[in-house]
């Protein structure tokens, strides 16, 4: 770039010349246009834009005029500098940009970048993300970058492990098992908002709930656990009985006895080729086990669950009239409403057997359903007492009365969820239990009473509070145990 020639001034005074010349460089105070640093006269100083103009290192643009200092840092023009206004030519033309040359010893020069500084910044950025990474709060890109960095940086890898362990301590341990009442609550809420078109009868709901709970247990066990040994227990006569089976064999047993209910409802018996025509539950189970070409496996779960769904669906569509339909168990029969309660009871008992075999937590039924199961067992006690007398396992009745009349009575008090009070007629199934004719009193927990009725607790081991006629107490405890079977 060639300097612009000086024009004649108004005299020999260079200050005066600078005052008149809008292209002059340098100056001291910027008020009279001699510096142009503040742009008051349309010029741009060559200093740093301050009044003192001490740096002189760079030119700033103001009002389209550029002026250059000579680089001595004093902000004054010694005649060697030059200036250019827009009126002197096009700045975009070649050679129009002034060559500032050497900035001089007073100029600030940016140091060369440190070749390691970018890596340091990258490290610091990724280290700041370790906390979010430990909480799984990083984006996909951030997670990928952090994990790649951890393979290269040992200190960050150690810190990441410490943070991940700390996050684990902050989280409370939660069981993997769902609340056993969750299904009932969800169904109740859904049905409360939109009633079922064909509702499940109240007397079939315990069976619905217990089959669903058992199915959930079966879905959660390992395939190998289907062959785990299960200890089956019941009470026969005066002695406890034990029998070993597998998880799959127990499900086959439940399916075999459920077939009795299916037959009563006019459905096909899925075990007809194996179980035969004998309606006795134990005989059907033995026939099924022996008729199988190989031991039952986990494939038995599907036909069992489909059968339970079919029973519930058929009972629901049949309406209220189906509740009194007789279901034959060979030596005795039950109305359908009680048969499904009995099936719910056995489903829970054997689900608990399976859970113990595979070390799985399993809770009792809900209080409302447990009450119905206890009520069924209590209503069956007078008939069972009479059967034991006929078999010579209990002393004869002490006071026979006409049918429907009150007779000697035992007060059965069941405590806890599902509990209540039952008055058991001691001398005849046709008699009526009455508080006015009470001769004995038994008090025990609801789950313990069910364990006694299932044959899992012997009459001698039952922790019952006893009061009154000891013989009556013994007869009722043994009758309760005799309700059990395979």
Q: Which domains does the chain have, with CATH numbers?
A: 1-107 (no CATH), 117-170 (no CATH), 186-357 (1.20.120.450), 370-482 (3.30.1050)
Rg (CA), the chain: 49
> What pLDDT band is residue 12 in, cutting at 50, 70 and 90?
very low
pLDDT tens-place string over residues 198-245: 888 999 999 999 999 999 999 999 999 999 999 999 998 888 999 999
pTM more than 0.85: no
Segment 88-92 mean pLDDT: 43
At 70, is the pLDDT very low, low, confident or very high (cuts 50, 70, 90)?
very low
pLDDT given for residue 216 in this prediction: 92
Position 345 scores a pLDDT of: 98
Residue 128 CB-density burial (10 A; 0-12 exposed, 13-18 middle, 19+ buried): exposed
Distance CA 201, CA 36 (A): 100
Q: Would you give the DSSP letter of residue 12?
A: S
Question: Who has greater pLDDT, 81 or 260?
Answer: 260
**Average pLDDT, stretch 451-459?**
94
pLDDT greater than 50 at residue 482: yes
Q: What local confidence, expressed as pLDDT, does residue 229 receive?
A: 95
Residue predicted with more confidence, 75 or 341 = 341
Output the six-digit token pair for 93. 């033309």
Question: How would you classify the pairing of strands 326-328 and 333-335?
Answer: antiparallel
Please report, rounded to a whole number, the percentage of residues in the chain having pLDDT higher than 90. Answer: 48
When pLDDT is averaged across residues 378-387 and rounded to a whole number, the result is: 96
CA distance 315 to 311: 6
More confident residue, 32 or 387: 387
Phi and psi angles of residue 467, each rounded to the nearest 5 degrees, phi first: -150, 135
| Highest mean predicted confidence (pLDDT) among 40-54, 166-180, 369-383 | 369-383
Residue 200 region, left (φ>0) first, then alpha (ψ -120 to 50), else beta? beta
Predicted confidence at residue 193, as pLDDT, reads: 72
Q: What is the distance of C-alpha 79 from the center of its chain?
A: 85
Residues near 236 by beta carbon (within 8 Å), at least 6 away in sequence: 485
CA distance 383 to 381: 5
Q: How many CA atoms lie within 13 A of 263 on its CB side?
A: 19
**What Cα–Cα distance (Å) separates residue 449 from each residue in 130, 234, 414?**
57, 14, 8
What mean pLDDT is predicted for residues 439-443? 96
Q: Report the pLDDT value the prediction gives residue 87, as an integer from 0 to 100.
A: 40
Helix intervals (H) in 106-181: 117-128, 130-134, 140-150, 154-170
Q: Name the range with the highest mean pLDDT among 6-20, 91-105, 107-121.
A: 107-121
Which pLDDT score is estimated for 118? 66
Q: Which residues of 301-331 are buried (b: 16+ CB within 10 A; e: fewer)?
A: beebbebbebbbeebbeeeeebbebebebee
Reading the block at residue 135, the tokens are: 């909480």
Of all helices (H) and strands (E), which one includes residue 231? Answer: strand 229-236
14-29, pLDDT tens digit by residue? 444 434 443 433 444 4
Q: What pLDDT is stored for residue 31 in this prediction?
A: 40
Expressed in percent and rounded to 5, the helix, strand and coil fractions of the chain are: 45, 10, 45
pLDDT tens for 315-361 read 999 877 889 999 999 889 999 999 999 999 999 999 999 999 999 99
- Residue 262 in this model has a pLDDT that exceeds 50: yes
The pLDDT mean for the chain works out to 78
Does 46 have pLDDT greater than 70? Answer: no
Residue 179: what pLDDT?
A: 66
**Given this model, what pLDDT does residue 271 score?**
73
Scanning 243-366, the segments in alpha helix (DSSP H) are: 247-264, 272-275, 281-291, 301-318, 336-357
C-alpha–C-alpha distance, residues 209 and 347, integer Å: 10
The tokens for 258 are 């459920």
Q: Which residues pair with 235 in a beta bridge?
A: 240
**pLDDT over threshold 50, residue 394:** yes
Residue 411 carries which DSSP code?
Answer: E
- What whole-number distance in Å separates Cα of residue 235 and Cα of residue 237? 7
With contact defined as beta carbons under 8 Å apart, do 284 and 333 qualify? no
**Residue among 13, 17, 47, 54 at smallest CA distance from 32:** 17
- Compare 343 and 276 and report the one with higher pLDDT: 343
């Amino acid at each position: 770039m060639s300097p612009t020639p000086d024009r004649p001034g108004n005299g020999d005074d260079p200050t005066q010349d600078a005052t008149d010349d809008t292209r002059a460089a340098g100056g001291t105070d910027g008020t009279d246009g001699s510096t142009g640093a503040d742009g008051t006269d349309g010029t741009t100083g060559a200093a740093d834009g301050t009044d003192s103009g001490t740096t002189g290192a760079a030119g700033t643009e103001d009002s389209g005029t550029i002026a250059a200092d000579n680089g001595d840092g004093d902000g004054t023009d010694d005649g060697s500098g030059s200036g250019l206004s827009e009126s002197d030519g096009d700045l975009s033309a070649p050679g129009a940009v002034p060559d500032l040359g050497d900035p001089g010893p007073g100029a600030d020069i940016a140091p060369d970048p440190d070749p390691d500084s970018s890596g340091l910044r990258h490290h610091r950025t990724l280290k700041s993300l370790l906390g979010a990474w430990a909480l799984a709060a990083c984006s996909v890109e951030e997670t990928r970058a952090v994990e790649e960095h951890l393979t290269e940086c040992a200190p960050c890898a150690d810190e990441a492990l410490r943070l991940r362990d700390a996050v684990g301590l902050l989280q409370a341990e939660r069981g993997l098992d769902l609340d056993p009442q969750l299904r009932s609550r969800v169904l109740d809420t859904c049905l409360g908002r939109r009633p079922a078109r064909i509702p499940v009868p109240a007397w079939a709901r315990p069976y619905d709930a217990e089959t669903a709970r058992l199915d959930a247990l079966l879905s959660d066990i390992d395939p190998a656990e289907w062959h785990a040994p299960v200890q089956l227990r019941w009470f026969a006569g005066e002695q406890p009985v034990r029998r070993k089976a597998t998880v799959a064999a127990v499900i086959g047993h439940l399916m075999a006895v459920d077939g009795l209910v299916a037959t009563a409802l006019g459905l096909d018996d899925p075990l007809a080729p194996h179980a035969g025509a004998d309606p006795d539950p134990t005989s059907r189970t033995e026939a099924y086990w022996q008729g199988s070409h190989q031991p039952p496996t986990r494939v038995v779960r599907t036909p069992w669950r489909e059968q339970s769904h079919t029973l519930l669906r058929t009972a629901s569509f049949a309406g209220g009239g189906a509740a009194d339909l007789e279901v034959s168990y060979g030596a005795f029969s039950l109305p359908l409403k009680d048969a499904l309660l009995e099936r719910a009871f056995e489903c829970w008992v054997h689900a608990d057997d399976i859970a113990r075999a595979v070390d799985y937590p399993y809770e009792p039924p809900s209080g409302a359903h447990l009450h119905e199961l206890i009520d069924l067992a209590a209503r069956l006690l007078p008939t069972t007492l009479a059967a034991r007398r006929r078999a010579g396992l209990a002393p004869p009745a002490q006071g026979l009365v006409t049918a429907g009349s009150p007779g000697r009575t035992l007060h059965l008090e069941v405590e806890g969820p599902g509990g209540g009070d039952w008055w058991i007629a001691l001398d005849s199934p046709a008699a009526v239990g009455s508080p006015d004719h009470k001769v004995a009193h038994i008090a025990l927990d609801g789950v313990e009473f069910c364990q006694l009725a299932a044959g899992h607790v012997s009459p001698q081991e039952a922790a019952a509070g006893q009061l009154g006629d000891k013989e009556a107490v013994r007869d009722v405890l043994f009758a309760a145990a005799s309700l059990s079977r395979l």
